[in-house]
């Protein structure tokens, strides 16, 4: 155990010395990786912040069942009771809006008051407003319910407001796919940067590696400092990327706050949680170590 700790301590010391010997090159490589890593972080911040708002808006799509104008009195209540009896598990709430109540609401609206005064009678039908229960595939379930209710007696029109829900869910799905593709592109940038960095160091220290092998150094001993180069470079770059993303979110949130206030709402962008960020830093460090191992294996065969 002491020998294992001693070997890793030596590899870490050698790595830090190499960083100190070439500070400008080291910082430049870390900056390139950090800027590349900041892009998917900003994309994740937008997606993480937008999804709760989208879910809050889209979890309660409503369907409005308009009865026929000549339908018998009480048909709206009968339809509401039938919905609760047959699809009680699919709906979160049902309320009946009598035609008199709907007319009174329109009369209290300045834009409609003058138009309704010239009508001889009430042209509005009774209506049943149904709220769909939260869950998966809201739009599909709402469309299925609406298709069945349109065939019921005394039902004239079923208005479905889930078309925009479908568009919103498609937009979020597009954002997730785009974020995955962006992360894959950034991973290739990290791989290429670390690979070339380790390659240049291996070629520069060609004679030192050859002497170490002559005196009995194992391949693990030779590779270990380069693995630390990849892991430490990516760790520092990922932490810097988090800082850059956090700084970039400040002016964005300032602009969003002004826009949200104009709509009477509150909205701000935020980075993923600490657990996700920690796993992300660990994954980037592992990616850097794997890239370094690949590079040192290919470029130290002499």
Residue-range domain boundaries for the chain: 2-56+167-299, 62-161
Instruction: Write out the H or E segment, with its range, that includes residue 63.
Output: strand 62-67
- Arithmetic mean of pLDDT, 11-36: 81
Residue whose entry in the numeric block shows the structure tokens 């992300």: 280
Separation CA 258–CA 249 (nearest Å): 14
CA-based nearest residue to 97, from 127, 118, 64: 127
Q: Looking at residue 218, what DSSP letter applies?
A: -
Mean pLDDT for the chain overall: 79
Q: What is 62-161's CATH number?
A: 3.30.70.3040
Does the pLDDT of residue 117 top 70, yes or no? no
Q: pTM score, two decimals?
A: 0.62
7 strand-pairing partners:
none
Q: What percent of the chain has pLDDT over 70?
A: 79
**Neighbour tally for 3: CB within 10 Å:** 7
User: Judging by beta carbons within 10 Å of its beta carbon (0-12, 13-18, 19+), is residue 90 exposed, middle or buried?
Assistant: middle
- pLDDT at res. 166: 65
Q: What is the 3-state secondary structure (H, E, C) of 260-277?
A: HHHCCCCCCCCCCCHHHH
Does the pLDDT of residue 173 top 60, yes or no? yes
Look at 139 and 225; give whichever has higher pLDDT.
225
* pLDDT tens per residue across span 60-99: 567 888 888 888 888 889 988 888 888 878 888 888 988 8
- Arithmetic mean of pLDDT, 154-164: 76
């Amino acid at each position: 155990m002491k020998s294992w700790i001693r070997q890793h301590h030596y590899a870490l010391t050698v790595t830090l010395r190499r960083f100190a010997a070439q500070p400008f090159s080291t910082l430049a490589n870390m900056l390139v990786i950090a800027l590349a890593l900041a892009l998917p972080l900003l994309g994740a911040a937008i997606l993480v912040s937008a999804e709760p708002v989208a879910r809050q808006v889209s979890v309660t799509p409503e369907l409005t069942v308009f009865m026929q104008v000549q339908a018998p009195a009480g048909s709206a209540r009968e339809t509401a009771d039938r919905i609760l009896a047959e699809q009680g598990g699919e709906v979160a709430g049902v309320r009946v809006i009598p035609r008199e109540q709907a007319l009174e609401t329109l009369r209290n609206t300045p834009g409609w008051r003058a138009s309704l005064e010239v009508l001889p009678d009430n042209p509005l039908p009774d209506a049943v407003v149904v709220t769909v229960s939260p869950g998966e595939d809201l739009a599909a379930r709402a469309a299925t319910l609406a298709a069945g209710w349109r065939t019921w007696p005394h039902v004239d029109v079923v208005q479905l407001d889930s078309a925009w829900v479908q568009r919103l869910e498609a937009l979020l799905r597009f954002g997730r796919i785009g974020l995955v593709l962006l992360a894959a592109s950034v991973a290739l940038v990290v791989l290429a940067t670390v690979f070339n960095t380790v390659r240049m160091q291996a070629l520069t220290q060609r004679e030192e590696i050859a002497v170490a092998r002559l005196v009995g150094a194992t391949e693990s001993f030779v590779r270990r400092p380069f693995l630390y180069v990849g892991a430490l470079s990516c760790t520092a770059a990922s932490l810097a990327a988090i800082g850059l993303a956090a700084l970039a979110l400040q002016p964005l949130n300032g602009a969003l706050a002004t826009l949200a206030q104009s709509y009477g709402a509150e909205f701000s962008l935020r980075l993923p949680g600490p657990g996700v960020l920690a796993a992300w830093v660990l994954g980037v460090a592992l990616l850097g170590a794997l890239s370094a191992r690949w590079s040192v294996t290919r470029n130290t065969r002499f």
